[in-house]
Amino acid sequence: MEKQKEKTQYNYRGLLSYALGKKEETDPMRMFCSQFVMYLLQKTCPGLPGKEPCFTSPEDIASLGAESGVYRLYDGKSGLYQKEKIRETINMLMLKNP
């Protein structure tokens, strides 16, 4: 992962394509934020309902319910994010779902 860090870029062209409603193939080395999140979710949760990554908005991700298997770890301002509380929640979830 660290080796690939230098090769990845923000997908400005993809964001423009999204705004224009035009499909663009997902390049794992160039994505915009919500495209990246949906790409990862679809890779780790087969059968996840939702749009193609290139058409995914932050609202689409926020609207995924518990039935999708997606668990929201944090909702709020990033400045109030508490790493330790998130770690505790992840550990608790892993114990429930081995």
Neighbours of 9 (CB within 10 A): 11
Closest to 37 measured CA to CA, from 21, 59, 18, 20: 59
3-state DSSP assignment of residue 10: strand
Nearest 5°: the CA angle 81, 8, 10 is 65
pLDDT tens digits for range 41-87: 888 887 787 789 999 999 998 888 777 777 777 778 878 878 888 88
Is the pTM higher than 0.75?
A: no
